[in-house]
Structure 1
C-alpha cells in the first residue's frame, strides 16, 4: 500500500459532478477530468444521437486507443535508444 496522501478533488465531467480520489496532484486530476470532458463533447458533436452510456464507452475506447498508440511509440523509442547505446 502506498504511503502517498490521497487527494479528493471535486470535478465536473459532461455536466455531472464527481469526487476523484488519487495520489496525483490536484492539478493533474483536474486536467484529466478536463480532457475527458473535452473528449466527450467532441464525440457528442460528431454523433448527437448517442446516449450518455454509449458516449462514455466511446470516450473510454478513444482514450485507451490513444494510450496504446503512445505506449507503442514509447516502446519503439526505448528500443532504439537501447540499440544506439549498444553500438558505441
Structure 2
C-alpha cells in the first residue's frame, strides 16, 4: 500500500509505503507489518511490528503486538495487548 500527502503548494510532504501480512494457523494468526516514509531521512520514520492473535471462540480473540517506531529524534518500542469480541 502506498499513501502520499501533499502540502498547500502541491509538493509531496509524505510518501509512505506499507506492507502488512497475516498467516492463520488454526486458532493462532501471526501478524507482521512494516511502514516507511520515503520522504524522511534514510533511517527515520520507520515502523515495524510483529503480533499474534489467538481465537478464543468464533467471535472472541486475544492478541498482542510488539512494535518499534523511529520518528526523527523520537524512537520507541512498545507492547499492545488486546481482547476483542464482535457482536
TM-score (norm 2): 0.26
Larger strand fraction of residues:
2
Larger helix fraction of residues:
1
TM-score (norm 1): 0.26
Instruction: Give the structure with higher Rg (CA).
Output: 1
